[in-house]
Amino acid sequence: MRRLFLLAAVILIACQAVGSLSPLSTPTARPSPTVFPTPPQLTLTPTPTLTPTPIPEEGFSIRLHPDGPLYVGDQVSIEVISPEDGDLEEKNVQIRVDGSVSDDLGSSGFGEYGIGGRLQATFNWVWDTNDLASGDYLIEFSVQPDGPEWIETVSLLPALEVPRPETVARWETIVIECCQVHFISTNSNGTRKYYA
């Protein structure tokens, strides 16, 4: 109703302004100033705001593997990467999937990882999505013993939407001098995606 009143007031003001112009006026003639009525003060009723999903504590980052969209049937690995100045070597992360059936994915301590030795907690193949329905899932992260805690929303797409050549992909592992490398191999065209 307030919007209709405001719209009617604007149209009335515009009509008054147009009506005050004379088509026969000369360039030297000055129209008398138009007095516009003061528009009524609108009182806005605040609408309730939705609480956003908490985001990771400042500086933490989460990586899910396989990279890209996740599909029902994926074996998901999770990395929780510490902030650069984080003092977390004596702490660990507890991960839990909250859903119709809550699933405790376990706990992992922070340790040096990768070529640069970044501090992270690593969960290899920790979430088996074979028996799940497609949709959104809430994953709860809790750094123990003193926090922080946060929730991430992860989407699983239907298994029927997995694109080729991923439908024939499989995990493989090789061991080299420095480390163990886990990668996905596909048979269809011999391409490989590497996830270390």
Which one is predicted more confidently, 96 or 16? 96
Domain borders along the chain are 61-162, 163-196
Q: What is the pLDDT of residues 119-175, one digit of tens each?
A: 899 999 899 999 999 999 999 999 998 889 999 999 999 999 988 877 777 778 899
pTM, entire model: 0.59
- Return all residues near 139 (Cβ < 8 A) that are at least 6 apart: 78, 95, 96, 97, 98, 105, 151, 152, 153, 154
Topology at the third CATH level for domain 61-162 = Immunoglobulin-like (2.60.40)
